[in-house]
Homo-oligomer: A and B are copies of this chain.
């Protein structure tokens, strides 16, 4: 299928420097940040512009060759693994900011820019792009859009979807469409913009995006609240919201995670407590001051054993950076780290954390839990070793239980990481068979030859987690 002629055609389209067939390169792009999923692509292709993307897509469509668009491969649901071979599409030549518009409060960018670089660019102009996935130091904005990435500021500011105003998209037939624009309001037909946000590269290739910006908050304060009891931490979360305060960030770390993060970051985090809330508020100085005072009081009323405000911006930055490093820190401990993102209504956080503890005990596996408490978006993280097949089976069963529990509490199987190949076997739990079918109809309508990131979102015939040995 991947013939010499196709190789030649690819070289003609993007230039021979921008197609790579070397085994060593194919190996590099055979996996992403998700353990247990690996498969070799046939080529790595780096188009230089939308027109080249369109030609590559047409070639693939005509020849039934899979295409996997890939940002920096930080995906945690095996969403960027070339499970059926074909082409991995890189955006290293399409990484430019095209326009920052201070009157319309928008940024128009190519997909390949690093999220944090984009954030720095807009902040330098007193503007703000809130979505901040933990991977933002290396993730690309195109990947964020395809995954509808969340982050630590989701509680107050929403997720990537809430900031995408318009897209340029290459459809699976090679046609180029533009959706939305620098527009606060646009209801011209179906909302293709949001359909593509979070579609995990299965419907087309995003080649340009116009994103909404907001004014940068005047100031920010960061606080830690320590608990000897997970319930008390969860009650604090509920009480803060019930008191009509919506903090920018409201993160939870359990004791095992705290210990590991402190070992890694060495910034003096408390490791003797059962749970910590990391709380940030931003906005006008006077409002932040008032909110933080009230939050501190609410935490104390809910039996926080200590509440402390970061004294300097550096100390605050150290705390959030430590939180963002949780996955990296945990990953040092065992050969394999499997991080999930089951999400529940905020009011069910305590129930979910306790359920995770019980499930870990039941299957005798090690699970550390941290995450976005304000969003009900937890990251139960299992430390294991894929070579231990017997343990891995128990890990799989534990996660299956976690998904069922989350659904039972009114939650979802994935809050911000996407379905990918990893959770496709569980999608029906959340959306039902009729929901899966509706989604499949959209997929078939856009991509009848199933060339766009095949094997993702939709499970193969068998409703079971796909485990590919690595």
Contact = CB atoms under 8 A, between A and B. Distances in A.
Interface of A: 101-105, 126-127, 147-148, 150, 154-155, 158-159, 161-162, 171, 175-179, 181-192, 194-195, 197-199, 203, 214-216, 238, 241-242, 244-246, 283-284, 286-287, 290, 343-347, 372, 374-377, 410-419, 423, 427, 430-432, 434-439, 441-446, 457
A325 to B, nearest CB: 21
Given A197-B191, A284-B284, A415-B187, A179 B105 contact: no
Contacts of A286: 284, 286-287
Contacts of A432: 177-178
Given A104-B346, A171-B438, A188-B430, 17 more contacts: A104-B347, A105-B241, A154-B184, A154-B185, A181-B412, A183-B411, A183-B415, A186-B414, A186-B415, A187-B418, A189-B419, A189-B430, A190-B198, A191-B198, A191-B199, A284-B287, A286-B286
Most buried by B among A162, A414, A430: A430
Contacts of A192: 431, 435, 438-439
B184 A375 contact: yes
A188 B413 CA distance: 7
A177 to B, nearest CB: 5
Given A191-B198, A214-B246, A346 B185 contact: no
26 contacts: A103-B242, A104-B241, A127-B244, A154-B185, A162-B162, A176-B434, A177-B435, A183-B343, A183-B376, A183-B410, A184-B374, A185-B376, A188-B423, A189-B419, A190-B457, A191-B195, A191-B198, A192-B438, A194-B194, A194-B195, A214-B246, A284-B290, A286-B286, A286-B287, A287-B287, A444-B445
Contacts of A443: 190
A391 to B, nearest CB: 27
Nearest to A377: B185
A416 B414 CA distance: 31
A347 B101 contact: yes
Contacts of A441: 445-446
Contacts of A215: 244-246
A238 B103 CA distance: 6
Sorted from nearest, which 9 A-B pairs have the closest CB atoms? A215-B244, A185-B415, A194-B194, A441-B445, A184-B375, A103-B347, A182-B345, A175-B434, A188-B430
Nearest to A176: B434
A232 to B, nearest CB: 16
Nearest to A203: B190
A419 B190 CA distance: 10
A184 B346 contact: yes
A427 B188 contact: yes
A469 B415 CA distance: 50
Contacts of A161: 191, 194
Contacts of A189: 419, 427, 430-431, 435-436, 439, 457
Contacts of A423: 188
Contacts of A102: 242
A438 B446 contact: yes
A203 B195 CA distance: 14
A155 B184 contact: yes
Contacts of A376: 183-185
A412 B192 CA distance: 14
A102 B181 CA distance: 35
A374 B105 CA distance: 11
Nearest to A186: B412
Contacts of A439: 189-190, 192
A198 B178 CA distance: 18
